[in-house]
Structure 1
Amino acid sequence: MELRAFKFLFISFCLLISANIGAQENRQFGMLPALNLRKSLHNNWKLNFKVESRQQFSKKNNGINQNYEYLLTDLSVIVAKKIGLNNSLASGYLTRLEDSSTSHRFIEQFTIVRRYNGFRLSHRFRADLTLNNNEKPETRFRYRIAPEIPLSGLAVDENEFYLKMNNEYVLSFQNRQEDLEVRLVSSLGYRLSKNNRFELGLDYRIDNFVSNNTRSRYWLLLNWYGSI
């Protein structure tokens, strides 16, 4: 797909978000700042450490409005092994810290990365299991497609900007109930150096399709990626 087509998708995504902000009765606005640290090991092994917080600025649920609230903190570690030129297998663990509970999530994933003339495209297949003493176990299956497009040249070099877009589908099963969540993410990134990147973007999520009580969530993304 040409770069021009990706720019069209980016603009369409922004218009979709703007239209849904006023249309949804159940909606939530907040911020997701995150720090990602990566470490390369021998024999094509890698470690990724991530710290992410979730902060709510406002929420409207069936006519009830809520203001600022610090929701949770996620701490995760994922170990990945590159297999072949473009594929990798990974396993990981995430703990979610909330005021009233702590969740434990176990992750398995397979990633395919393809490089084309002018952009990079990745496919990620993930399955995870979440355990919490206050809730029934939750199993999720996720697929994400993510193009990364340099805004100058054919690759993202130092001191250059790039555009990243994600489209993810999350199918969840919990207590004999299922749900589908759709995520659309658009970010503008800047590569400060060989080992450091910063991204600013918008994460839009819509779920609760099965219960016919659709919920929309809008998160401002602030991501820092560093290699150690």
Structure 2
Amino acid sequence: MFCIRRILLVVHLLLGYCVLGQDHFTWYFEPDISLNYEVASNYSHNFEISQRSYIYDESFRFKGRQLDIAHFSALKITYGQSIALGIQYRFRNVFENDEENELRLTQQYNITTQRGGIRYGDRLRVEQRIRPSLTTHRFRYRFALDIPLSGEKLDVGEPYFIGSIESLLSVAKGNKPEFDQRLTTYLGWLLNTETKLQAGIEYRVENYTQQNENVLFFLTSLVFSL
């Protein structure tokens, strides 16, 4: 447990260094609610709704940016491995008239392994981001881990930690390839056997080979599992 706490401290120090070491940031607040529904022992659905808002200056004024509605269907193909298909619709135009709405299709392959009290996950995603003016193909790889903070097993009322790092490549006709990097940390609580509450931050470096943009997200998540 002492080793785990040292790992968490290092992760948060690195994230804080990345954030404080940058002068120009875009800040967002993004809460979401999701429902996981197990249809069979090897087949499940996930439904999620999330909303993203700009955060302006030190007064923390908020302005809506987008609303996302998403669905995933996942199939376990063997122990610790699954494939999934997803569809998502992003409402942008209702918040900003000069922006376009987006339909997103996702194909996913996921591997999870357990060592002691730590669970590791490797995820590959291929996405088609379809807008009226442009279709972008995006390729993503994410490594994640989650750790109970009060022992090797997560019990009701106890906290846990989630950390992940993700690399992204976006390609579109007529545009140069774009490379992004994301670092995310969450602290969560198992409120009961069917409900989790999570709060975290995500640091993104977007298009870092061309016009580097630094983005910071404040995240909250309420997860129901049936």
TM-score by length of 1: 0.89
Q: Are 1:93 and 2:87 matched, yes or no? A: yes
User: How is 1:163-202 mapped onto 2 (pairs within 5 angstroms)?
Assistant: 163-175=161-173, 176-202=175-201
Q: Secondary structure at the match of 1:156?
A: coil
Do the aligned partners of 2:15 and 2:183 also contact (CA within 8 Å) in 1?
no
Which residue, 42, 45, 53 being the options, matches 1:44? 42
Partner AA of 1:128 in structure 2: E
Do the aligned partners of 2:138 and 2:171 also contact (CA within 8 Å) in 1?
yes
Q: Give the CA RMSD over aligned residues.
A: 1.9
Which residue, 78, 87, 91 being the options, matches 1:84? 78
Cα 1:22–1:44 change in 2 (3 A) is: closer
Cα distance in 1 for partners of 2:52, 2:106 equals 20
Q: Which digits, 9 at most, give the CA deviation of each residue in 1:195-225, with x for residues without a partner?
A: 11011111111112121x2111111110111
| Cross-structure match for 2:207 | 208
Q: Secondary structure at the match of 1:177?
A: coil
Cα distance in 2 for partners of 1:98, 1:111 equals 29
Structure 1: gaps (5+ residues): 60-65
Q: Which digits, 9 at most, give the CA deviation of each residue in 1:78-116, with x for residues without a partner?
A: 000011111111001000101242100000001111011
Cα distance in 1 for partners of 2:2, 2:9 equals 11
Cα distance in 1 for partners of 2:159, 2:80 equals 24
| Cross-structure match for 1:103 | 102
Cα 1:83–1:224 change in 2 (3 A) is: same
Q: Are 1:162 and 2:140 matched, yes or no? A: no
Count of matched residue positions in the alignment of Structure 1 and Structure 2: 218
Cα 1:160–1:140 change in 2 (3 A) is: same
Partner AA of 2:177 in structure 1: E
Structure 2: gaps (5+ residues): 94-98
Partner AA of 1:68 in structure 2: F
Do the aligned partners of 1:114 and 1:120 also contact (CA within 8 Å) in 2?
yes
Q: Secondary structure at the match of 2:25?
A: strand
Cα distance in 2 for partners of 1:154, 1:195 equals 20
Do the aligned partners of 1:10 and 1:186 also contact (CA within 8 Å) in 2?
no
Q: Secondary structure at the match of 2:139?
A: strand
Cα distance in 2 for partners of 1:139, 1:107 equals 10
Do the aligned partners of 2:188 and 2:197 also contact (CA within 8 Å) in 1?
yes
| Cross-structure match for 2:96 | none
For residue 9 of structure 1, report the CA deviation from its aligned partner.
4.0
TM-score by length of 2: 0.90
Q: Which digits, 9 at most, give the CA deviation of each residue in 1:1-34, with x for residues without a partner?
A: xx55554443233333333434434311121101
| Cross-structure match for 1:29 | 27
Partner AA of 2:176 in structure 1: Q
User: How is 1:6-155 mapped onto 2 (pairs within 5 angstroms)?
Assistant: 6-42=4-40, 44-58=42-56, 68-99=62-93, 100-134=99-133, 136-155=134-153
